[in-house]
Amino acid sequence: MNEFSCSLHARPLTQSDRVADEVAKATAHVRIRDLHTWNFDADLRNLEEVYEASGLPVTVNFRTLVPLGSGVDRATHLFHSYPAKLLLNIPLFFINCTKYSSPNDVVYDPFSGSGTVLVEALMAGRRALGADANPLARLIATAKTTHISSDLISTALDTVLSNVDHNRQVPFTTAIKKDMWFSEEVALSLGALLYSIRSHTNGAVLAFMEACFSACVKRLSVSDPRLSVPVRLKGDALEKHVLNSPSVIDHFAKVVGANSARLAKMPEGCRSVIYTDARQRHSDGDVQADLIITSPPYAGAQKYIRASSLSIGWLGMAPSDRLRELEKLNIGREHFYKSDYSVESVSVVPSAQEVLSKIKSMNSLRSHIADTYLREMDDAAEAIISRLRQNGHLVLVVGDNMICGHNFPTSQFVKDIFNSKGLTTSLELVDDIRSRGLMTKRNKTAGTIEREHVIVFQKR
C-alpha cells in the first residue's frame, strides 16, 4: 500500500523528470561505491598503542583518517542544514572498526540532531536508534533515514504541486513573527504549499515532504544565510537577497529533486527509530545498543531551538506556540528565571565545584546554566548507560569552552560523570575543529570551541 493518498490531476508539465534526472546522476556510481568497504582496524590499533603508552589524549585528524572532503555530498548528509553538525568522518570511523560494531548491530545516538550518526550506521549495514528533544531534528533525521522510492516521491510531488491553492492556508503559529521574516507573497505561497503537502501525503512521504519544506524556509526568508540563527538582513544585502530569491514552488521542487537523489543512495528498506529525549530510560523489551556514538550539547554554546525557529514556526512544533516551552526540554539551554538560580547548590560533579564558584562570583546566571547542564547530563548518562549492552562501547565527542573568562573543561567533567557510573575509558583522542559549525562565540566572555575530545568508554 502506498504511504500517501492523492487524487491525480493532469498537468501539462510535471516535476517528475527533474526528480528522475537527479536520481540518475546521484546513482550513476552507486555500484562502484558499494564495492568499497571501509575498515579502520589497523588505524585503531595504532591509536590504542599510543594512548596505552602515554595515558594522554592522542592528537588525530579525522579528515586524514577518513579521507572525505569537507562538505561532501554523501548519502543524505546534506539533506537539510543544522547547527553544529558532527563531522561525519568520526562516526564513519568508529562504526567501521570491527572492535566496536558488526553488520546488523545496533548503533544509538542519544543526541542525534539531524541524524549524522544514524545515516552512517545505516550505510554500514547497522540498525539505527536516535533521540533528540528538538522536534525539527527528529523530523529531519527521520526523513534522512527512511527509504522511499524515487517514483513514489515524484508522483507525490506532482500531486502536491497540482493542488496548491492560495485560498487554502496552514494557519501560522505565534511562535515567531511571520511578517518580520517573510514577504506577504512568500508567506502566502509557503502556507498554501504546506496545506497541500499535509492534505495529499501521509506517513513517510509526509515526513519527507515536510523536511524538504523546512529546508526551503530559511532560504526564502529575509534571514542572513551566513548565520545559523535567524538575523534579519538590512540595506543593500536585503535588497539583493529579495531580488535573487527564487519562487517558492520552483525552489521546493528543486529541493525535493535533490533530496530524492540523496535518499536513493541509502540502503533500500532502511529506517531508524528516534526517541524524544536522551534521558528516556531503557525498559524491558527495548533494544540495547552495541555501540553508542554521540556529541552532547554544550552549556549555552548553541541555540538549537532559536536556529530552528523559522521552521518550527511554520510546522507548528512549539508547545503552546512558545519557543521558550520547547527550549525547556533541551539540555544546555540558557533561559532561566532569577528565582531558578537564587538558591545555593553543590555540583553533582565534584571536580566542577571550584570553577562553578569562580563563575558564580562574576555571573550567577552563567554559573546556573553550567551547573544545570552538568546535572542534566548526569541524568542523561544514567539513561544512556542503561541502553548500552554489557561490553558495548560509547564514543563521546565533546569540546571545552570558556565561561566568563574561565576555562570550563566540559570534556573532563562529562568524562568524570560517565566514569563515576562504572564505564571505563579505553581511548581518548583530540581533533581540531576546522568547520565553523561549533566555533560560535556565545557571549563576550565565551571564546570559541576549537578542539573536540573523542572519548571511548566501555561498559564492563
Q: What domains are defined for the chain?
A: 16-30+147-263 (no CATH), 45-133+271-304+319-458 (3.40.50.150)
Mean predicted confidence (pLDDT) in 384-399: 96
pLDDT over 90 at 33, yes or no: no
Q: Write out pLDDT tens, residues 193-231.
A: 999 999 999 999 999 999 999 999 999 999 999 888 899
> What is the predicted pLDDT for the residue at 37?
75
Give the list of residues 6+ apart from residue 156 with CB closer than 8 angstroms, or none.
Answer: 4, 6, 200, 201, 205, 209
Question: Comparing C-alpha atoms, which of 388, 401, 225 is closest to residue 297?
Answer: 401
pLDDT over 90 at 124, yes or no: yes
Question: Comparing C-alpha atoms, which of 224, 228, 223 is closest to residue 81?
Answer: 228
pTM of the complete model: 0.88
Q: Over pLDDT 90: what percentage of the chain?
A: 69
Residue 328 — pLDDT band, cuts 50, 70, 90?
Answer: confident
> What is the predicted pLDDT for the residue at 6?
30
> What is the predicted pLDDT for the residue at 340?
72
The phi, psi pair for 282, rounded to 5°, reads: -70, 140
pLDDT over 90 at 299, yes or no: no
Q: Which of 7-16, 143-152, 171-180, 290-299 reaches the highest mean pLDDT?
A: 143-152
In the block, which residue shows the cell 570559541?
A: 448
> What is the predicted pLDDT for the residue at 298?
79
Average pLDDT, the chain: 87
pLDDT over 60 at 119, yes or no: yes
Residue 321 — pLDDT band, cuts 50, 70, 90?
Answer: confident
Lowest-confidence range among 111-115, 152-156, 176-180?
Answer: 176-180
